[in-house]
Amino acid sequence: MKAIPFILLTLLSSSALANCYKVGDMAGYTVREQNDYALNTPSESKQVFEVTIDGKASGVSPSDIDCTLGGGNTLICFHVGEGGESVIETWALYPEQARALYTKTINGYGTYNGGTLFVGTILGQCETP
C-alpha cells in the first residue's frame, strides 16, 4: 500500500519532465564537400521545428531520423544507411534564454557531405491536441 504514493509520484514527475518546444529563426553556417568545405557564407532556415524532450519518446518534427535523449534538454539524432552513410544531428535547448543550438553532420553522400551549425530561437511551447 505504501508503494502506491511512490508510483504515483514517479509517474507524475516523469510526465512533468516532458516538454515540447517550437524552434525557428535558425541561422548559422553550413559547409559542404561541393564547396570545398569553405566556411564563408551564412545560411538560414525558415522551417519551424517541434523538439520533444520526453525520454524514449523524444524526437524532432519534421524529421525522419531517430532521436535519443542526451541528457537535460539535449537530443542526439542519427541515421545510418545500409551503405554506411550517416546523418547525425544534435539539439541543445536553453529555455531560460529562449535559444537552441543545432548541429548536423553528413557523411557518405558525396557532394552533400559536410556540416551545419545553427542558432535558433525557442518560439514557445508546442500546442497540445
| 6-34 pLDDT per residue, tens | 333 333 333 445 799 999 999 999 999 99
For residue 40, pLDDT beyond 50: yes
- Considering the segment(s) 18-125 as one domain, its CATH architecture is Beta Barrel (2.40)
**CA count, 13 A, side-chain hemisphere, 82:** 0
Determine the average pLDDT of the residues in 30-50: 90
Neighbouring residues of 4: CB distance < 8 A, sequence distance ≥ 6: none
Instruction: Compute CA 35 distance to the chain's CA centroid, rounded to the nearest angstrom.
Output: 26
Q: Give me 19's grid cell.
A: 516538454
- pLDDT score of 17: 53
What is the tens place of the pLDDT at every residue in 65-91?
999 999 889 999 999 999 999 999 999
The predicted structure's pLDDT at residue 127: 84
- Count of CB atoms situated within 10 Å of the CB of 87: 19
Confidence of residue 3 (pLDDT cuts 50, 70, 90): very low
Contact 33, 105 (CB under 8 A): no
